[in-house]
Structure 1
Amino acid sequence: MSAEAYHWPPEVTAHMTAAGWSPERRVDVSAWEEELSRTSGFRMHTAAARFLAEFGGLKVPEGPNEPGQQVASDEFDLDPLEGEKMRPYFQRVGRAAVGELYPIGSVAGGHALLAIDEAETVFMLFGDHCRRIGVGREAIANLILGRRPQ
């Protein structure tokens, strides 16, 4: 499933809109690309550029945390500089990724990092774990709604 093919449930759209997202939102990713290349050796791939152009810079509050959720929802910050100087760590724990992982943010005030691979799959990295969250927009919904990916 491509990132563009996934349509959010209405509650996710409302949550993201409240966080500052809109369907037309586009941000310039060049400063992040330059900084992460210079300081950490990251090379921004197409999937990372597309994801960050739409979502980069957003601070998303935790979702509703209701009965029946598979995991707790927590706040997440879509700032790729949260992964600065973490390239060796990404390479070590990101074995499930297709190609290189690129940082896209953090969860729970930095307790876990978020990264995207070249196939648009978003991963949460913590300790020695690399957990698949979903593909593109699906990952956003899963983080807000406390769902494990299918």
Structure 2
Amino acid sequence: MKFMPEVEQVLRRSGWFPGRRIDIEPWQASMPMFDWHAAAEKFLCEFGGLRVDVRGPGITVAREPFEIDPELTRGEKGRFSELSAMFFRRFCPVGELGG
């Protein structure tokens, strides 16, 4: 089992299904300033374009809706560059939390 049943149910309601693959080349082409590393590409191919509407209590924070769409991070190159330098990792945008 890849996901806990509740997580899989939420993902399926949002349009995900096992084996889902989308073309992320349009995002890569329109946003060449970001570091499209293999982990980000793999994640976006499976989950990109999903809008997940979850709400309610969580374990440490409340559940909030989120959207997996790198286009929503336009204009944030500086932030991702700073985070990458600060943590010695390559950060790539994948979407937005809470609108």
Relative to structure 1, is the Cα distance of residues 97 and 82 closer, same or farther in structure 2, using a 3 angstrom cutoff? farther
Note the C-alpha offset of 1:96. 2.5
Q: TM-score, normalised by structure 1?
A: 0.60
* Counterpart residue type for residue 82 of structure 2: R
Note the C-alpha offset of 1:24. 1.4
- For 2:40 and 2:50, how far apart are their aligned partners in 1? 15
Q: TM-score, normalised by structure 2?
A: 0.89
Structure 1: runs of 5 or more not aligned: 1-5, 110-150
CA RMSD of aligned residues (A): 1.7
Note the C-alpha offset of 1:97. 5.3
Runs of 4+ in structure 1 over 3 Å off: none
**Count of aligned positions:** 98
Considering fraction of residues, name the structure with more strand: 1
1:78-125 superposed Cα distances (whole Å, 9 cap, x missing partner): 001111221111122342352x2111000000xxxxxxxxxxxxxxxx
* Counterpart residue type for residue 14 of structure 1: Q
Partner of 2:87: 96
**1:54 maps to 2:49:** no
**1:31 maps to 2:26:** yes
Structure 2: runs of 5 or more not aligned: none
Which of the residues 61, 78, 83 maps onto 2:73?
A: 83
